[in-house]
Homo-oligomer: A and B are copies of this chain.
Amino acid sequence: MKVLVLGAGQLARMMSLSSTHLGIEVLAYDVSSKQVINPVTFEVSNTTLEQEVERAYAITAEFEHIPEDVLALCESSGKFYPGAQSIATGGDRSKEKALLDKAQVPCAPYALITEKSHFIDAADKLGMPLVIKTCQAGYDGKGQWRLKSADQIDQIWSEMEGFIASGTEAAPHSIIAEKMIPFDREVSIIGVRDKGGNCKVYPLTENQHTNGVLTLSIAGKEKAAIQGQAESAFEKLATELNYVGVLAIEFFDVDGQLLVNEIAPRVHNSGHWTQQGSHTSQFENHMRAITGLPIGCTSLIRPTAMINVLGQASIPHSVLTVPGCTSHWYGKEAKPGRKMGHINISADNLHQLGERLSELAEILPEDDYPGVLDTSHALILN
């Protein structure tokens, strides 16, 4: 069975590596270069997108910001999972919030802003501080503000105005203001839904971000109550979207109550631990779901942590001396801050995982790999 992935980065690569054994062949479409490539060997195929859409048994995506024409072509083939609606929902905060409301899944209070009066109302009704973001997140990395007092409204509105005006009727640009709620930590749930509507959900993952980028995830330390909240959110949202494949949901944990931060209609960085920590990785399960194969076990085999490798030219080989440790290298050219690979580390229990992370912390410089040492201490003490 041939599967075409829109996007040719590490997620497409790991989908390929995790499903070849099932008899699945993966090709990837790089939307920038408009080339079809093998995401493992990086070899360029001399075929076109149209040809590969025709040949594919199933089509999927590794990211949300896909050109309209590509999305339309794939959707019209009837083989595209999780489908254009799910992809669009993941790529637009206004659609995402509408989904959450419809499925009755809690998130922070918010207001959509398309004109200045909405902004003034939001500051008034939601209360400050507010986090203000563009809804169409692909807007070249800009477009995020914090409103702390009403006297900032004019200044921030003048920056927002141009973005909103650049939208069209077909593709409107909007802004969302969310009440900033102090949270204890960030967690996420990864789950998979098959074509028959059956859902399987992995254990909740605790995530640490540094400068807005995921740096470390841990799976295997959650209690049943909070897991139940996350599973319920997954099932409501996946069902509402008639979703097929792996869906990720990021939450803020506010004193034991989960509020959705955002959803990602795809395999997700915070689910990379499943490669070593569960029987069926998120990549294999995504491929099983979209090709109509039975989805596999998502239970935890062993507590596992994942450490992102950001901007480094290589992963120190000595990490492999630490028991239960495996490195995953994406084969990309190194650039500052770029996701270059990740390290998974598993153990028989959380205490042992802490000890192993402590060994890793001796190898990995704190500046490049933040949180490893602190996490090891926390696991050993608990």
Question: A-side interface residues toward B, CB under 8 Å?
Answer: 17, 20-23, 25, 38, 40-41, 43, 276, 279-280, 284, 288, 293-294, 296-297, 301-302, 314-315, 317-318, 320-321, 323-329, 331, 346
Contacts and interface: CB of A to CB of B under 8 A. Distances in A.
A288 B320 contact: yes
Contacts of A279: 276, 324, 326, 346
B17 A331 contact: no
Given A302-B301, A329-B23, A331-B23, A293 B276 contact: no
B321 A21 contact: no
A317 B294 contact: yes
Contact of A329 (B17, B22, B325): B22
A24 B335 CA distance: 21
Contacts of A320: 288, 293-294, 296
A324 B346 contact: no
Given A21-B326, A21-B328, A326-B21, A294 B280 contact: no
Contacts of A346: 279
A297 B317 contact: no
Nearest to A329: B23
A323 B297 contact: yes
Nearest to A43: B43
A288 B17 CA distance: 18
A299 to B, nearest CB: 9
Contacts of A43: 43
A239 B301 CA distance: 34
B329 A317 contact: no
